[in-house]
Amino acid sequence: MDIARYLSVIDLLCAREFPAARGRTEHGESGPGYHTAALQTSGEFWEDGGCEREETAAQYEADRDGLGERLTERWGPPQIFSLSSVLDRTLEGENIEQPWSALSGHIPDVQLWKSAETGRWVALGVSQWDKELPFQLLAVVTETDPP
């Protein structure tokens, strides 16, 4: 894990303007009011019996927490924000703003700070779309308040 590089990406996203339309960037995806960066991505788990997947999940959570410690030095302790109710509300047809609606489909919870410098929300989460697919350590910067 390269914490200095990850912090640099987060700083870049905090300073970068939001695009008018959704699209890919060199770090991930951006759209009106948000940027998402995949800081690291694991391999897939198609042939795994579960052990490697569990170890990888634990490592990604540890990496998120280590990066979170550095962000805590900047902005204080994070809020731990569960996205499970956001997913439920989205599935029930409620119109939840991005990036929260999309994140809720593959991230159970995020560590969340509000940058005093920019007023933007910064979230860290561990993503996995399905048990065979890679884990990702994601950083999200948004001006949209959590739902």
Q: What global pTM score does this model have?
A: 0.92
pLDDT at 49 over 70: no
What is the rounded CA–CA span in Å between residue 12 and residue 71? 14
The domain limits of the chain are: 3-15+25-142
Identity of the highest mean pLDDT range in 55-59, 80-84, 132-136: 80-84
Angle (CA) 116-2-14 rounded to 5° is 25
Quote the tokens at residue 35. 């940027």
Q: Which pLDDT tens digit goes with each residue over 20-38?
A: 999 999 999 999 999 999 9
H or E segment to which residue 127 belongs = strand 121-127
pLDDT at residue 48 in the model: 62
Q: Average of pLDDT values for 105-132?
A: 93
Q: Average of pLDDT values for 42-61?
A: 83
pLDDT at 50 over 80: no
Mean pLDDT in the chain?
93
